[in-house]
Amino acid sequence: MMNIKKSILIFAGLVIGAGTSFAQKFGFVDTEFILNQIPEYKAAKAELDKNSADWQKEIEAKYAEIDKLYKTYQAEQILLTDDLRKKRENEIVNKEKDARDLQKQRFGTDGDLFKKRMELVKPIQDKVYNAVKSVAEKGGLAIIFDKASDMMMLYASPKYDKSEDVLIFLGVSKTKAGSSSGGSSTHKSGGK
């Protein structure tokens, strides 16, 4: 009889525990929709598009100049001395290198477009992220996903971060694993 009561109590505890663990609320937002409603974002996007188009034209002009030099070189190649031929080839090679360098400077990983995007769009994205966080905390939401980016997690309440529990389970101390994740909030960066 005692074992049955004990089993019922354990079962009831598990049901209550499972019920509270599934009671966390989730939400989602569409950052693309949100951003497109913000006038500063539209202005920033228009400025980025204009810069991008201008820089692309600048690069295309360099390649058109190289193409013209190459065609002229091919037409005159037979008439040129070895020294002049080498000089023209070097000029074309150097101009191609300059054009590639300019393309990298404008559109590379840390190029002008990336820097401009960080300058113009990142503050707006941070503002949206802070609003998402506030809405989540106010609404008691554990997690908010972004519908615009394949349901990427934008915000997660730090109270649901189980990283330290996993480390303890694995027998790994925080000093061995490096710095602990502290609070788990995911923040999307970069521009759209």
pLDDT in tens, 33-84: 998 899 999 999 999 999 999 999 999 999 999 999 999 999 999 999 999 9
- With the C-alpha atoms ordered 8, 9, 11, 12, is the resulting torsion angle positive or negative? positive
86 has a pLDDT exceeding 70: yes
One-letter identity of residue 63: Y
Residue 175 confidence (pLDDT): 60
Whole-prediction pTM: 0.64
Give pLDDT tens digits for 105-131.
999 999 999 999 999 999 999 999 999
DSSP letter string, the chain: -HHHHHHHHHHHHHHHHHHHHTT-EEEEE-HHHHHHT-HHHHHHHHHHHHHHHHHHHHHHHHHHHHHHHHHHHHHHGGGS-HHHHHHHHHHHHHHHHHHHHHHHHHHSTTSHHHHHHHHHTHHHHHHHHHHHHHHHHHHTEEEEEEGGGTTEEEEE-GGG--HHHHHHHHT--HHHH-S---S------S--
Percent of the chain with pLDDT over 70: 77
What are the two backbone dihedrals, phi and then psi, of residue 155, each rounded to the nearest 5 degrees? Answer: -145, 140
Residue 182 confidence (pLDDT): 42
> For the residues 11-25, what does the mean pLDDT come to?
54
Residue 24 confidence (pLDDT): 75
Contact of 52 with 113, CB cutoff 8 Å: yes
Residue 180 confidence (pLDDT): 42
